[in-house]
């Protein structure tokens, strides 16, 4: 079903395929544990396999969780963690890099600042390519771990979720909105006017039957949702720094705000800057650190499925 396929966009998945990946993640989560009952356990499922992490943009969680996932499954990893440390610094184009690196490994995770880079890379690779984020485009494995987090919290069905912040450039919001439309979620888009969800994405979602509500004010929606999904407003995506400065710091989640909905779950793909008050980290509502951990079993699932193990 998914074996040897490239993973470029959440739009490439059916709901059944997503459910299959999430089920595999549950099976493998025991091997992802660094502490507790799974501590020290390691699988040999991908022994002898090599993952190439090609990251042309900064990353902490995505790159490290791909590496940990592969090693927890008994495989190995080769890394390019910055274009400055690769032949890209000498002028080598991405196509040539992919043609060469795909001969060195069994699977590639690629992060690149240009939207569409992963789909282009896939057309030249002799091994599966996983899009680990392409500019303002898609981030499918982030979406899978977001869905897994919601599933573990028993929130994936009958979900009412507010996607908040940078919805124009935010690839995590784009990917997640498409996937949630498969689950019948009610989507609340909260953003400054300048950072609204792109019209073409909203049209696609509505054609898929998604129920969408838009606002510029968190307080208008907080009592109507069971999940707040925050995204940072990304300085690096703005062509004009002055435009960034106009919207920076627009939204901030505080303990006073969440008193209006004491059961609301707060998610964030991280890194968070100033959009969530530090006091919120200590509340039961804050689920973004366990969300980050779930990147390991989900990426273990993806790697094992694509590599036929």
Question: pLDDT class for 179, splitting at 50, 70, 90?
Answer: very high
User: 32: which DSSP letter?
Assistant: H
Pairing of strands 186-190, 107-112: unpaired
The residue from 24, 72, 112, 139 that is catalytic is 139
Burial 110-138, CB ≥16 within 10 A → b, else e: bbbeeeebbbbbbeebebbbbbbbbbbbb
pTM comes to: 0.91
Burial 161-186, CB ≥16 within 10 A → b, else e: bbbbbbbbbbbbbbbbbbbbbbbebb
The residue from 6, 111, 152, 232 that is catalytic is 111
The residue from 6, 24, 49, 62 that is catalytic is 62
Kindly report the CA angle at 68 between 73 and 278, in degrees rounded to 5?
140
Mind listing the pLDDT tens digit for each residue in 130-158? 999 988 778 899 999 999 999 999 999 88
Active site residue 90: yes
Active site residue 111: yes
Active site residue 232: no
The residue from 37, 90, 223, 259 that is catalytic is 90
CATH number of 10-138+295-306: 3.40.50.1370
Extents of the domains making up the chain: 10-138+295-306, 154-286
Active site residue 72: no
Q: Are 130 and 306 in contact (CB under 8 A)?
A: yes
CATH entry, 154-286, from 3.40.190.10, 3.20.20.140, 2.60.40.1180, 3.40.50.1370: 3.40.50.1370
The residue from 5, 61, 114, 309 that is catalytic is 61
Active site residue 62: yes
Mind listing the pLDDT tens digit for each residue in 272-300? 988 999 999 999 999 999 999 999 999 99
Work out the average pLDDT over 46-59.
94
Distance between alpha carbon 279 and the CA centroid of its chain, in Å?
25
CA distance 7 to 13: 9
Mind listing the pLDDT tens digit for each residue in 83-117? 666 666 556 789 999 999 999 999 999 999 999 99
């Amino acid at each position: 079903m998914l074996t040897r396929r490239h993973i470029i966009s959440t739009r490439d998945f059916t709901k059944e395929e997503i459910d299959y990946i999430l089920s595999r993640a549950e099976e493998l989560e025991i091997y992802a544990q660094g502490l507790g009952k799974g501590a020290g356990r390691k699988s040999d499922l991908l022994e002898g396999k090599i993952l190439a992490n090609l990251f042309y943009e900064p990353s902490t969680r995505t790159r490290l969780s791909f590496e940990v996932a592969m090693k927890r499954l008994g495989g190995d990893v080769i890394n390019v963690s910055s274009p400055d440390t690769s032949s890209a610094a000498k002028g080598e184009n991405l196509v040539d890099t992919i043609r060469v690196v795909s001969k060195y490994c069994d699977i590639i995770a690629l992060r690149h600042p240009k939207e569409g880079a992963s789909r282009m890379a896939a057309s030249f690779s002799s091994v599966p390519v996983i899009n680990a984020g392409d500019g303002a485009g898609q981030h499918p494995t982030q979406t899978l771990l977001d869905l897994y987090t919601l599933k573990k919290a028993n929130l994936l069905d009958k979900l009412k979720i507010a996607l908040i912040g940078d919805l124009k450039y935010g690839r995590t919001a784009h990917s997640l909105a498409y996937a949630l439309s498969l689950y019948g979620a009610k989507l609340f888009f909260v953003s400054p006017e300048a950072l609204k969800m792109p019209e073409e994405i909203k049209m696609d979602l509505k054609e898929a039957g998604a129920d969408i509500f838009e606002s510029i004010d968190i307080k208008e929606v907080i009592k109507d949702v069971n999940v707040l999904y925050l995204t940072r407003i990304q300085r690096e995506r703005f062509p004009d720094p002055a435009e960034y400065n106009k919207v920076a710091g627009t939204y901030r989640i505080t303990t006073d705000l969440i008193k209006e909905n004491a059961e609301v779950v707060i998610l964030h793909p991280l890194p968070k800057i100033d959009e969530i008050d530090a006091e919120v980290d200590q509340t039961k509502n804050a689920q973004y650190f366990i969300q980050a951990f779930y990147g390991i079993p989900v990426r273990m699932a993806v790697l094992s499925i694509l590599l036929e193990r």
